[in-house]
Amino acid sequence: MNIAIYGGSFNPPHLGHREAVITALEELKPDRLLIMPDHQPPHKEMEEGSPTPEQRLELCRLTFGDLEGVEVSSLELDRRGKSYTYDTVCDLERAWPDARLTLIIGTDMLLCFEEWYHFEYLLEHCRIAALARDYEDDGKLRETAERLREEYGAEIVLLNHVPMPMSSTELREILHRRLGAESIREAAYAAIIRHRYYGAMPELSWLREQAYTMLDERRIAHVAGCEGEAIELARRWGEDPENAAEAGILHDITKRLSHEEQLNLCEKYAIICDSAERRTPKLLHAKTGAAVARDLFGVPDEIYEAIRWHTTGKPDMTLLEKVIYLADYIEPTRDFPGVEKLRELAYEDLDRALLLGLQMTIEEVRSHGEEPYIDTLTACEWYEERILERRDRHVDP
């Protein structure tokens, strides 16, 4: 049996790793290919804030799990401590005494192979498959391969592999700037965002795609409008436009769910709701939307809260909460009597616009013969008082 082993930190695994695996499958045709995330690399410290070994293992499953003949192995994780390939090879030889082992390694790893723990044993017991870019032009690589063959009788094959422009190190540096999605397998990227590994922030185009599949077709224009308006309001009032965009994109993600589904989500996320909320699914979608946004997309608290309060508002709102409340109200697809006035006011005096929005909602709800929800009423009272106070003190907005 031919077993190929592809070890590494996979911190995170990316499409370059996946391409390498596909090349190795084609060229080596192993019976099985083991992806072997290390517990702790022997030659370096794992960067602070990296996901745990178990989390990296899971990211590997999400990156390679669908490839036939490929298995993500927890051997090195289970062994704990520093992960020496020598120990792994010994373990595999014990498990499969007749197997022929091939180590798949990167170019740089071949160049320093003589620093590996018990490298002579490894060269004697394993074939080496080095992932080489332009190896015909790479004198140093060919020289090293030739020398290892001569000195140790090593068996070395070079896999012609065009590496991706992106490395794990580079990805760790850009994920928090809302970049990198195109270099990572979708399912793994979704997990990275969900848990915000590496301080990752979602690429907005990726987030839109995800959110829009959760919406009624008719609502997409509203959500896109709300995102754009939130960005503008954020710029006007000194809020972070990207956080505003993220909250705008996600604010209505549970809106299309039925009343029953809303209530199921309340149960799932241990959301407490009173009888008025239980009766009015319109009020629930703000709470369930925030919970789902946090669960699926790992939104930070400030964005969670902005989604949470976007329907009713509340006293003493944060800037982001106000921005989302108003963006939802005045985005370009909204056309109700009075929207123009509210649009103007939102860019002139944020609190007065907020108050006007609250008052209009109360009027609207009452015109349907319903009683506005308590949060809406207390929010309205709070801003009425605040604006009166402001007037008394002649304070500018």
- Residues making contact with Fe ion (CB under 5 A): 252, 328
Q: Give yes or no for residue 262 binding ligand DGI (CB under 6 A).
A: no
Q: Give yes or no for residue 50 binding ligand DGI (CB under 6 A).
A: no
CA-to-CA dists, residue 53 to 58, 78, 105, angstroms: 9, 10, 20
Q: Give yes or no for residue 382 binding ligand DGI (CB under 6 A).
A: no
User: Closest distance between ligand DGI and the C-beta of residue 135, in Å?
Assistant: 57
User: What interhelical angle do 350-367 and 339-348 show, nearest 10?
Assistant: 150
Nearest partner of 319 among 359, 287, 351, 285, judged by Cα: 351
User: Closest distance between ligand DGI and the C-beta of residue 295, in Å?
Assistant: 19
State the binding partner of 312 from Fe ion, ligand DGI, none, CB within 5 to 8 A by kind.
ligand DGI
State the binding partner of 308 from Fe ion, ligand DGI, none, CB within 5 to 8 A by kind.
none
Nearer to Fe ion, 30 or 225 (CB): 225
DSSP for 121-143, please give it: HHHHHEEEEEEESSTTT-HHHHH
Q: Give yes or no for residue 378 binding ligand DGI (CB under 6 A).
A: no
Q: What does the alpha-carbon distance between residue 128 and residue 100 come to, in Å, rounded to a whole number?
A: 11
State the binding partner of 287 from ligand DGI, Fe ion, none, CB within 5 to 8 A by kind.
none
Q: Can you read off the two tokens belonging to residue 193? A: 């965002």
Interface with ligand DGI (CB under 6 A), residue from 33, 83, 361, 382: 361
Q: Give yes or no for residue 376 binding ligand DGI (CB under 6 A).
A: yes
Q: What SS3 state is found at 72?
A: strand
Peptide bond into 12 cis (omega under 30): yes
Q: What does the alpha-carbon distance between residue 313 and residue 281 come to, in Å, rounded to a whole number?
A: 16
**Inter-residue contact 92 to 78 (CB < 8 Å):** no
Q: Give yes or no for residue 85 binding ligand DGI (CB under 6 A).
A: no
Contacts of 361 by beta carbon, 8 Å cutoff, 6+ apart: 372, 376
Q: What does the alpha-carbon distance between residue 17 and residue 19 come to, in Å, rounded to a whole number?
A: 5
DSSP for 279-311, please give it: H-HHHHHHHHHHHHHHHHH---HHHHHHHHTTT
From 17-25, 203-211, 291-299, 304-312, span contacting ligand DGI (CB under 6 A): 304-312
**Inter-residue contact 16 to 64 (CB < 8 Å):** no
Interface with ligand DGI (CB under 6 A), residue from 328, 343, 345, 380: 328
Nearest partner of 185 among 310, 63, 319, judged by Cα: 63
From 113-121, 156-164, 209-217, 277-285, span contacting ligand DGI (CB under 6 A): 277-285
Q: Where are the beta strands (DSSP E) in 75-224?
A: 100-106, 126-132, 155-160
From 25-33, 196-204, 280-288, 300-308, span contacting ligand DGI (CB under 6 A): 280-288
User: Closest distance between ligand DGI and the C-beta of residue 291, in Å?
Assistant: 15
Interface with ligand DGI (CB under 6 A), residue from 269, 365, 378, 387: 365
User: Closest distance between Fe ion and the C-beta of residue 251, in Å?
Assistant: 5
Q: Backbone phi, then psi, for 55, in 5-degree steps?
A: -70, -35
Nearest partner of 361 among 376, 374, 347, judged by Cα: 376
Rounded to the nearest 10 degrees, how much is the dihedral formed by the CA atoms of 159, 164, 166, 168?
-40
From 9-17, 238-246, 305-313, 315-323, span contacting ligand DGI (CB under 6 A): 305-313
DSSP state of 197: G
User: Closest distance between ligand DGI and the C-beta of residue 285, in Å?
Assistant: 6
From 67-75, 101-109, 114-122, 276-284, span contacting ligand DGI (CB under 6 A): 276-284
From 145-153, 192-200, 266-274, 368-376, span contacting ligand DGI (CB under 6 A): 368-376
From 127-135, 166-174, 230-238, 370-378, span contacting ligand DGI (CB under 6 A): 370-378
Q: Give yes or no for residue 311 binding ligand DGI (CB under 6 A).
A: yes
Structural Rg of the chain based on CA atoms: 28
User: Closest distance between ligand DGI and the C-beta of residue 298, in Å?
Assistant: 22
| Binding to ligand DGI in span 215-234, by CB under 6 A | 222
Nearer to ligand DGI, 81 or 338 (CB): 338
Q: Give yes or no for residue 280 binding ligand DGI (CB under 6 A).
A: yes
> Which chain residues interact with ligand DGI by CB under 6 A?
222, 252, 255, 280, 282-283, 310-312, 328, 361, 365, 370, 372-373, 376
